[in-house]
């Protein structure tokens, strides 16, 4: 398999399937495309790999799979255990992943991932603050229901989808307690950032 990804400093969508593949121990060749280049150079580099003109892209045999969630679903079929075994837990983990995949636009826009940035507080708009409150409530709800340490108990694709969010909370010094956290959400964010897969991604980003 080949996984085509954007810069590790910025590309949240690339991070998600990369973490999943690494967690599962799946072998893949990594192809890096530099983002934010002038004169449409990034688009020119992506075009030979991606029919959607976006990254990430997974190439597996004659398959070319675009979109982070679709890639993660494909990887889960290669490596059982990336979703919870219990049907209810699996459904809620998928629901949480889908909500991240399609929502939280204000938080994305105001707090882009930048692993090289020094932590600095940022005044959030009400729309972004609403996103943070929803994420905190979702995290606490799932951690309480399944007992942790991750959203659905053991680590799953859902945790990969929220790892970039944890980096945003760190970079922009978001006070989760001010958004309804009793400490559980902040502790969960720290666990995400302490996984060996994320630490490897971050080390390569900063290098």
Domains, the chain, ordered by start: 2-80 (3.40.30.10), 87-200 (1.20.1050.10)
Separation CA 149–CA 180 (nearest Å) = 19
**Residues, the chain:** 207
Q: Is the pLDDT of residue 48 over 80?
A: no
CA dist., res. 24 & res. 66, Å (int): 19
Q: How confident is the model at residue 155, as a pLDDT? A: 98
Q: What is the pLDDT of residue 63?
A: 96
Q: Kindly state the percentage of the chain with pLDDT values over 70.
A: 94
Residue 156 has pLDDT above 90, yes or no: yes
**Triad 66, 54, 7: Cα angle to 5°:** 110
Q: Which of 32-41, 42-51, 192-201 has the highest mean pLDDT?
A: 192-201
Lowest mean pLDDT among 35-44, 79-88, 120-129, 153-162: 35-44
pLDDT at 36: 65
Burial 84-97 (b: 16+ CB within 10 A, else e): beeeebbebbbebb
Position 53 scores a pLDDT of 66
pTM (2 decimals)? Answer: 0.93
- CA distances for 150 relative to 38, 42, 62, 129, 139, angstroms: 40, 35, 35, 23, 9
**Cβ atoms within 10 A of the Cβ of 169, count?**
25
């Amino acid at each position: 398999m080949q996984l085509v990804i954007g810069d590790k400093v910025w590309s949240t969508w690339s991070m998600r399937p990369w973490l999943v593949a690494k967690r599962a121990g799946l072998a893949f060749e990594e192809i890096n495309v530099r983002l934010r280049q002038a004169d449409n150079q990034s688009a020119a580099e992506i075009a030979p790999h991606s029919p959607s003109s976006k990254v990430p892209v997974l190439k597996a045999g004659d398959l070319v799979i675009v979109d982070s969630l679709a890639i993660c679903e494909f990887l889960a079929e290669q490596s059982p255990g990336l979703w919870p075994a219990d049907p209810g837990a699996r459904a809620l983990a998928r629901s949480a992943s889908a909500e991240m995949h399609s929502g939280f636009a204000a938080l994305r826009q105001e707090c882009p991932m930048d692993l090289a940035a020094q932590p600095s507080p940022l005044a959030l708009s009400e729309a972004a603050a609403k996103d943070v409150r929803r994420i905190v409530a979702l995290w606490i709800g799932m951690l309480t229901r399944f007992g942790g340490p991750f959203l659905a108990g053991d680590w799953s694709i859902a945790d990969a989808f929220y790892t970039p969010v944890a980096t945003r909370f760190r970079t922009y010094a978001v006070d989760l307690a001010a958004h309804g956290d009793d400490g559980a959400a902040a502790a969960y964010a720290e666990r995400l950032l302490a996984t060996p897969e994320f630490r490897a991604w971050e080390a390569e980003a900063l290098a």
